[in-house]
């Protein structure tokens, strides 16, 4: 199969769809891999790195797209990219179609594009294998971001995460006990902060209590408890997970933010799916913060792109098995034989195959099994 790897064009998206080792493994399996020139530059991968493992360099975005029967990206398709799509292609990426521009959705339909949304892929145990490493990165980065923006020169409260003898540590409140929340909690504990986690699922709360051996405080995530917790927080990490067919719910209101400590910080990790804090709006890696209601907000949708090399290796590690399977069998056979891959299909030949997504986008829905002939 021909596989295209375009250079990401979203602002400050430094990751790449395939690393050189991943591209090389696909070439060894008999595939042709076309990597757009400088596609790996943000991760420190050169064109020579790709050529040395047998990949071919595409000299324009149009070539990298049109060469590929399967196109592998990280970021969602941009409006400027959909003009390069050709009929019948498959595109694997973090598509976030629920928040995509209408022009993108229209082109997917017109060109009969099959989209494999990495954020939807669900393992048999209910976990999200592609989302997990990205979420772990965001969680592990949270303490270094919070520590930096709590410093006075950055407009922060001047609070040291770890505290010191005679001075209490920072109060960190994490909303959501998923992968981001657990990873953030481990990292904040390692930095010496006092951590509180709020979660809606009581079984998750029990598992968190066992995991951290009572070293974190746990609370049921209700509006009253969230309001109480954020009022005493120096840093709030909001990491509410949606079903990826819908925009995440807003759980922290403007009034709650208004009642937070002056010059404290909110990290809205859910911003890539609309954000779960009412005062949040997307920011960038070069202009990552703003102040609203006297509170610093960090709302970078592609937070892992700050550590692009590590993030690209983690991404390739988890998506390689799906790319390899599609390359060997084709989308139809791979989706028909492997229920895991089928969970990632959001459109098949231009038709929306996720019911919740179709409902939210006001588009027609067709079950995947029906389109695959049962």
Find, among 288, 306, 286, the residue nearest to 296 by Cα: 288
Q: Are residues 32 and 145 in the same domain?
A: no
Over the stretch 7-23, which tens digit does the pLDDT of each residue have?
A: 999 888 999 999 999 99
Q: Are residues 349 and 212 in the same domain?
A: no
Over the stretch 128-146, which tens digit does the pLDDT of each residue have?
A: 899 899 999 999 999 999 9
Q: Are residues 153 and 287 in the same domain?
A: yes
Q: Are residues 249 and 186 in the same domain?
A: yes
The DSSP bridge partners found for residue 174 are 197, 237
- Tell me whether residue 125 is in a domain: no
- Full-model pTM: 0.89
Half-sphere exposure of 55 (CA within 13 A, CB side): 34
**Is the pLDDT confidence value at 245 over 70?**
no
- Tell me whether residue 111 is in a domain: yes
Domain total for the chain?
2
Find, among 150, 173, 184, the residue nearest to 295 by Cα: 150
Q: Are residues 277 and 367 in the same domain?
A: no
Alpha helices in the chain (DSSP H): 20-28, 47-51, 61-66, 102-110, 131-149, 179-190, 202-211, 223-231, 254-258, 308-329, 331-337, 339-342, 355-361, 368-371
**Is 96 an active-site residue?**
yes
Q: Are residues 144 and 289 in the same domain?
A: yes
Over the stretch 189-225, which tens digit does the pLDDT of each residue have?
A: 999 999 999 999 999 999 999 999 989 999 999 999 9
Q: 287: helix, coil or strand?
A: coil
- Tell me whether residue 361 is in a domain: yes
Q: Are residues 205 and 318 in the same domain?
A: no
Q: Are residues 56 and 113 in the same domain?
A: yes
Four-residue CA torsion sign, 358, 361, 362, 364:
negative
Q: Are residues 146 and 269 in the same domain?
A: yes
Tell me how crowded residue 374 is: count the other CB atoms within 10 A of its CB.
7
Domain containing residue 61: 2-117+308-371
Q: Are residues 109 and 141 in the same domain?
A: no
**Is the pLDDT confidence value at 367 over 90?**
no
**Candidates 96, 234, 268, 297; catalytic one:** 96
For the chain, give percent helix, strand, coil, nearest 5. 40, 15, 45
Mean pLDDT to the nearest integer, 238-267: 88
**Is 313 an active-site residue?**
no
Q: Are residues 343 and 362 in the same domain?
A: yes
Q: Are residues 343 and 201 in the same domain?
A: no
* Domain end position, chosen among 280, 301, 322: 301
* pLDDT confidence of residue 293: 98
CA-based radius of gyration for the chain? 21
């Amino acid at each position: 199969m021909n596989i295209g790897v375009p250079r990401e064009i979203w602002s400050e998206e430094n990751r790449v769809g395939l690393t050189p080792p991943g591209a090389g493994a696909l070439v060894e399996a008999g595939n042709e891999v076309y990597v757009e020139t400088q596609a790996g530059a943000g991760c420190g991968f050169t064109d020579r790195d790709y050529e040395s493992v047998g990949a071919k360099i595409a000299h324009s975005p149009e070539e990298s797209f049109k060469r590929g029967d399967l196109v592998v990206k990280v970021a969602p398709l941009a409006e400027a990219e959909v003009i390069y799509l050709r009929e019948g292609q498959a595109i694997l990426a973090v598509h976030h179609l629920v928040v995509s521009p209408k022009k993108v959705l229209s082109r997917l339909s017109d060109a009969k594009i099959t989209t494999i949304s990495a954020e939807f892929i669900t393992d048999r145990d209910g976990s999200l294998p592609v989302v997990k490493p990205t979420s772990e990165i965001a969680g592990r980065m949270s303490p270094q971001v919070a520590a930096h923006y709590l410093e006075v020169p950055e407009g922060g409260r001047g609070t040291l995460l770890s505290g010191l003898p005679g001075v209490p540590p920072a109060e960190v409140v994490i909303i959501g006990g998923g992968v981001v929340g657990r990873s953030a909690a481990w990292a904040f504990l390692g930095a010496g902060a006092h951590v509180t986690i709020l979660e809606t699922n009581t079984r998750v709360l029990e598992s968190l209590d066992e995991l951290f051996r009572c070293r974190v405080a746990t609370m049921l995530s209700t509006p009253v408890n969230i309001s109480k917790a954020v009022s005493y927080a120096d840093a709030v990490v909001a990491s509410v997970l949606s079903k990826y067919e819908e925009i995440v719910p807003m759980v922290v209101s403007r009034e709650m933010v208004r009642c937070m400590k002056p010059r404290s910080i909110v990290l809205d990790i859910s911003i890539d799916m609309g954000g779960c804090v009412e005062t949040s709006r997307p920011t960038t890696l070069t202009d990552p913060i703003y102040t609203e209601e006297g509170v610093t907000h960090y709302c970078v949708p592609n937070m892992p792109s700050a550590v692009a090399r590590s993030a690209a290796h983690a991404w390739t590690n988890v998506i390689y098995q799906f790319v390899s399977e599609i390359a060997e069998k084709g989308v139809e056979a791979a989706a028909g034989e492997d229920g895991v891959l089928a969970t990632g299909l959001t459109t098949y030949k231009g038709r929306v195959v996720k019911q919740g997504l179709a409902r939210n986008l006001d588009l027609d829905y067709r079950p995947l099994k029906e389109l695959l002939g049962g």
